[in-house]
Amino acid sequence: MKEGNEKKRIESKSEVQFHLDNLKYALESSYVNINFQKNRQVDESRDKKYTNRYTIAQLFPDEDEVEVLKRELAFLTVEEYIETVKDIRFPNRSEMRVFGRQYSNEDVYIKIRVELVSIEHASGGSYILVMSFHFSDRDFNETDFPYRKSEVKKNEEN
């Protein structure tokens, strides 16, 4: 997605927790529909290491993608939150939340949208779009995470 199509902001810690609670609620429902964008247009011009397909295959070989995503998304935390993104091309869609997590000493970029009530999915089920779940093309640093306590802060508190 091009930068010009996005409006980014940092939500409060309680807002992020509220959205994580909604995500967990949706994941626990037997009526959840997870849409994982395994093949994206943007990936055609990208090093394959930074694609959703490659990352899932490397981190979770021989596992069902949807089950992996249900499991991994259920454990996202406020400390892993990076930012909230609104795609201004689709103003009626809910905002996406961006998270970062480490797997095998590699940073993974996670971008999701959760729709608990969706006109498009009027069957009554929740809808989770996993736009991104791929190795990050740049290393994360502490300033990327507004609610992560740095090691220095943790040591000062103890």
pLDDT of residue 57: 96
CATH classification code of 3-157 = 3.30.2310.40
Q: CA-CA distances (angstroms) from residue 7 to 29, 53, 125, 137?
A: 30, 26, 28, 21
8-52, pLDDT tens digit by residue? 999 999 999 999 999 998 898 878 889 998 888 888 889 999 999
Region 86-90: what's the mean pLDDT? 86
**Residue 87 CA, distance from chain mean position:** 15
Copy the structure tokens of residue 153.
Answer: 């802060």
Region 121-139: what's the mean pLDDT? 84
47-76, pLDDT tens digit by residue? 999 999 999 999 999 999 999 999 999 999
Whole-structure pTM value: 0.87
96-103 vs 81-87, strand pairing mode:
antiparallel
SS3 sequence of 5-35 = HEEEECCCHHHHHHHHHHHHHHHHCCCCEEE
pLDDT of residue 127: 84
CA separation for the pair 58, 100 (Å, rounded):
17
pLDDT of residue 158: 47
pLDDT of residue 117: 59
Provide the greatest CA pair distance for the chain: 51
